[in-house]
Structure 1
Amino acid sequence: MSITATELSVVNYRSFDECVLALSPHVTVLVGRNAVGKTNLVEGLQLLTAGSSFRKPSPSELLREGASTGRARLSLAGDGRALEMGLELADGKRAFTRNGKRTTAAGVRGVLPSVLFCPDDLDMVKRSASVRRAALDSFGVQLNAQYAKLLSAYERTVEQRNSLLRDCPASELLEAWDESLAATGAQLLMHRRALLARIRMHFVDVYRVIAPHEEPDVAYESTIGELGEGREEVSSQFLGALRERRTDEVRRGLTLVGPHRDEISFTIDGRSARDFGSQGQQRSIVLAWKIAEVEVTRDILGRPPLLLLDDVMSELDATRREAIMGFVAQEVQTVITTTNLGYFSDEVLDGAKVVRVGSID
């Protein structure tokens, strides 16, 4: 059974002193001029579903200027229950709530996962590898609590090992940190590889719908080499790679191999999409990736995510707009922001709730 977001309400949040947004279980289109707060509302939806924001704001940035406290609430319904996810802003801090009780980001994450597609995503293929790793990880942590714990533990271990490499490179403790990093990193690699395999199945199919005469692919490239099958084998490979690079790592004071340095590579017809893909091909890749995220969520949880399309229609041509709206029509609750309703067909608008931002109660 699907879970849907029914209402977002905010007080002293970003540009809003107060706002209540009732959401359609199907498509809600937020239309208005630039800088009226459409993206702020999308960010609120993402915070209360994913537990994080693509903007990575500080608590003070979320609070309306001049206000001392603020809040956001998201009502969810379905699966035989009603839930309220909340965010409290006060004293330069933020705190999540679930049905009024204090929780962590993990406590709001994953009940209704969200997939965000915004203009910044369109450069995912040509930007640094860290952007593509973050795209995979931010999706994975919404679907699997263990993924989130492993990612956090791995990042802490890398940071602590880097400190040791800089300050005490001859310490006997380094070997113990190597073993800890290899064990945690191997588990994270297994999660990443499994998730990317799921994404790849849908990604290839969706891309072929957009560009039938091209052959796309996506692959995980590990800095420890070709990965073995089991966790123990991967951990052993990781440990060997760390020992092999020890001299370089001590010299630079950095951990040079592991999931934090890995690459997710896209190809079209066997050629690097980053190096040789046209802008149109790179955008098709991102579009196919985002739609694949929707389908993988449906595969794993048995229900679709909340799809957030923030001002991307103006960045896509008619073919790509048609492709994404075709998937939206497949029972995916969607919130879209735009400055121009002309990007949408009459059929889409007839079935959508259109809200003019600037006139919300």
Structure 2
Amino acid sequence: MHISELKAKNFRLLKDIDIELNSGMNIFFGPNAQGKTTLLEAIRLISTGRSFITNTLKEIITFENDHFFLKANILQNYLPVEIKFGFGESKKIIQVNSKPLKNLSDLIGIVDSVLFVPDDFNLVTGSPEIKRRYIDIQLSQAKNEYLENLKAYNKVLKNRNALLKNRNYNKNEMQTWTEELLKYGTLIIMERKKSVSNLNKFANEYLSIISGNKENLKIDYKTIGDIETDANIKNQFRILMEKTHQSEQKLGFTLIGPHKDNLEFYINNINAKKFASRGQLKSISIALKFAEADNLKLLKGYYPLFLFDDIFSELDETRKDNILSFIKEEQQTIIVSTNHNRFVSQSNKKDCCIFEMSNGKISLNSR
């Protein structure tokens, strides 16, 4: 799968671009504040329906304009796909092959992508919410059923919490919402458990190579109690909900479930959040991203797009070279950087295009 052509109009600094992308490696270089990260933002928006920079689409519109427009032509399993995404006057227009989509989430799973940005060490050190979102995005891209179960769970959770805030709630209604929470929550936990297991395997292999066989990684999935086997997840979930129900009544919200899940990372059996260096944190984050791509390949049969922003800062030369060796020719990779010299040798080895960016304009430097 790859994007063959991308158009953007009034998208931040990208006032009017139309570029043809290579199916392999694409490198965009230039000084800071020239639109490089904005380019990745546009592609990620088409992929997931969300910006990784802002929650407000209006902020994306180029100054003194009233709308933005994106169009991407994609080749997916040898079949052409056209995505259009427009926003203006507080209205979104999203089309896939000229067919309108109702919701932003409907884009998820059409153009899969893996994104790395400089602050992704928050995957290791950040809040449980950040870590849950990381797992949820990749599983939602891989399995539409997971996305639907997640939306259903969040809806049930909202209704159950609203009921808990009413101390005179109907017990039968509470039981109904609790059973629904158990149903969807169990399905989510089962999928997350399998996904984290695969991520752990792949990411450990990548980190070992990045570090020159000096570091290993363990990912600990923190969820409800002891769930060594799938068979006891729902039963364990039910028991814990019964134990905490009295506290829930006092507090007015649900205390147990996948909305409380967390991930903990250990490097050489030491808590990475507490003791890893910034270089190690970045190495773990990069290993996780390559593992995410392998996980999506395992589930869907093809690699996602790879979007890299400032991948090499805070890493030594050996780690940089090892990371470059991971990039696969059959995987479309888009890298933005202030300096393209490190990639010149790669352009001789792989199918590669190098673009220069200046003030939101893009020119082909070499092919």
Fold match (TM-score > 0.5): yes
Contact 1:219 1:265 in 2 (8 A): yes
Amino acid at match of 2:203: F
Instruction: Give the SS at the match of 2:129.
Output: helix
1:38/1:169 Cα in 2 relative to 1: closer, same or farther (>3 Å)? farther
Q: 1:106 deviation in Å?
A: 4.4
Aligned to 2:202: 202
- Given candidates 16, 19, 23, the residue that maps to 2:17 is 19
Aligned to 2:214: 213
TM-score normalised over the length of structure 2 = 0.91
Instruction: Give the SS at the match of 2:229.
Output: coil
Q: 1:320 deviation in Å?
A: 2.8
Q: 1:78 deviation in Å?
A: 4.6
Q: 1:291 deviation in Å?
A: 0.8
Residues 174-323 of structure 1: pairs in structure 2 closer than 5 A: 174-211=174-211, 212-222=213-223, 224-227=224-227, 229-230=229-230, 233-323=232-322
Does 33-42 or 271-280 show the bigger shift? 271-280
CA RMSD of aligned residues (A): 1.9
Amino acid at match of 1:262: D
- Give the distance between the partners of 2:248 and 2:149, measured in 1 at CA: 23
- Give the distance between the partners of 1:360 and 1:279, measured in 2 at CA: 32
- Given candidates 46, 71, 74, the residue that maps to 1:73 is 71
Q: 1:118 deviation in Å?
A: 0.4
- Give the distance between the partners of 1:307 and 1:230, measured in 2 at CA: 32
Q: 1:69 deviation in Å?
A: 2.7
Contact 1:185 1:258 in 2 (8 A): yes
Paired-residue identity, %: 28
Does 174-183 or 39-48 show the bigger shift? 174-183
Instruction: Give the SS at the match of 2:65.
Output: coil
Aligned to 2:89: 91
Instruction: Give the SS at the match of 2:191.
Output: helix
Q: 1:317 deviation in Å?
A: 3.0
Q: 1:330 deviation in Å?
A: 4.4
1:154/1:78 Cα in 2 relative to 1: closer, same or farther (>3 Å)? closer
Q: 1:272 deviation in Å?
A: 1.7
Instruction: Give the SS at the match of 1:303.
Output: coil
- Give the distance between the partners of 2:110 and 2:247, measured in 1 at CA: 44
1:177/1:169 Cα in 2 relative to 1: closer, same or farther (>3 Å)? farther
Q: 1:100 deviation in Å?
A: 1.8
Contact 1:199 1:293 in 2 (8 A): yes
Instruction: Give the SS at the match of 1:316.
Output: coil
When the two structures are aligned, how many residues end up with a matched partner?
A: 356
- Give the distance between the partners of 1:191 and 1:27, measured in 2 at CA: 32
- Give the distance between the partners of 1:93 and 1:325, measured in 2 at CA: 41
Contact 2:204 2:217 in 1 (8 A): yes
Q: 1:42 deviation in Å?
A: 0.5
TM-score normalised over the length of structure 1 = 0.92
Contact 2:200 2:217 in 1 (8 A): no
Which stretches in structure 2 are left out of the alignment for 5+ residues? none
1:80/1:330 Cα in 2 relative to 1: closer, same or farther (>3 Å)? closer
Instruction: Give the SS at the match of 2:34.
Output: coil
- Give the distance between the partners of 1:55 and 1:270, measured in 2 at CA: 33
- Give the distance between the partners of 2:12 and 2:344, measured in 1 at CA: 32
Contact 2:68 2:87 in 1 (8 A): yes
Aligned to 1:63: 61
Cα displacement string for residues 269-291 of structure 1 (whole angstroms, at most 9, x for unaligned residues): 32222123232322221111111
Cα displacement string for residues 229-284 of structure 1 (whole angstroms, at most 9, x for unaligned residues): 336x3222212211211222222222121111111111123222212323232222
Amino acid at match of 1:186: T
- Give the distance between the partners of 1:54 and 1:200, measured in 2 at CA: 24
Does 77-86 or 314-323 show the bigger shift? 314-323
Amino acid at match of 1:13: F
Does 170-179 or 195-204 show the bigger shift? 170-179
Instruction: Give the SS at the match of 1:24.
Output: coil
- Give the distance between the partners of 1:69 and 1:278, measured in 2 at CA: 43
Amino acid at match of 2:355: V
- Give the distance between the partners of 1:152 and 1:21, measured in 2 at CA: 35
Instruction: Give the SS at the match of 1:314.
Output: coil
